Amino acid sequence: MISAATAPAEPPRDCPLCPRLVAFREEQRAKHADWHNAPVPSFGPVSAKLLIVGLAPGLQGANRTGRPFTGDWAGDLLYATLLKFGFAEGVYDERPDDGLALVGARVTNAVRCVPPQNKPETREIATCRPYLTSEIEALGHGAAVVALGRIAHDSLCRTLGVALKAAPFAHGARHALGAVTLFDSYHCSRYNTNTGVLTTEMFESVFASVRAYVDAR
């Protein structure tokens, strides 16, 4: 592990590594010149004891605003939950300048650029993994990591060198993986909440467990 004071690497604004995502980015820049339309940097202090990993920026959410989970329904649920459990302070108002601050928590995505139809390809997830690795390496020993959805879970396991069968994804599951402990949750997307796959109570139960874990460290 590197020092928690060392800032993790961030992709450049015009990252060229994934041709399909680059083409989609340029398409969105032509349509919406006032949007962020670039890789979305992580949000929160480098010294955080909790890292939350989502899938990828939403087209009209983080891709528009430039802050993870900001400007869409998933962010409404995520940040309300972080505020409730003391991992954030201030007010979430769906804008990067709303003054919201994370407390001991950091939010990132497995893929930093918005993908078409919100579906990154396997090779794009792998190509972006060095940035996730950098986030993991910046965590201190005993940190908690929350995976929002199976893709984030799988990418985290691969980042940590853990076989997927050794740490199967399940909502509410907890895996001790060497220097970090991984907590699993269904993704807080509108699709999951509208269909009842994920309820507010289910989501909050994961973060209640995370809060207890962090407080006991």
* Residue count (the chain): 217
Please check whether residue 171 lies inside any domain of the structure.
yes
Please check whether residue 11 lies inside any domain of the structure.
no
Please check whether residue 4 lies inside any domain of the structure.
no
Parallel/antiparallel/unpaired status of strands 143-148 and 174-177: unpaired
Please check whether residue 10 lies inside any domain of the structure.
no
Please check whether residue 130 lies inside any domain of the structure.
yes
Residue 178's domain spans which residues? 19-216
Q: How far is CA 50 from CA 14, 86, 180, 194, in A?
A: 28, 12, 10, 27
Quick one: pLDDT at residue 55?
A: 97
Please check whether residue 3 lies inside any domain of the structure.
no
Name beta bridge partners: 175.
182
Letter for the amino acid at 32?
A: H
How many domains does the chain fold into?
1
pLDDT confidence tier of residue 12, bands split at 50, 70 and 90: very high
How many Cβ atoms from other residues are within 10 Å of residue 27's Cβ? 12
Q: Convert 104-120 to b/e letters by CB count within 10 Å (16 or more is b).
A: bbbbbbbbbbbbeeeeb
| Rounded distance between C-alpha atoms, residue 84 and residue 213, angstroms | 16
CATH of the domain at 135: 3.40.470.10
Instruction: Quote the DSSP letter at residue 179.
Output: T
Please check whether residue 86 lies inside any domain of the structure.
yes
Angle at 32 between CA 30 and CA 33, to 5 degrees: 75
Please check whether residue 93 lies inside any domain of the structure.
yes
Q: What is the mean pLDDT of the chain?
A: 96
- Residue 211 tokens read as 């809060």
Which pTM value belongs to this model? 0.96
pLDDT in tens, 159-201: 999 999 999 999 999 999 999 999 999 999 999 999 999 999 9
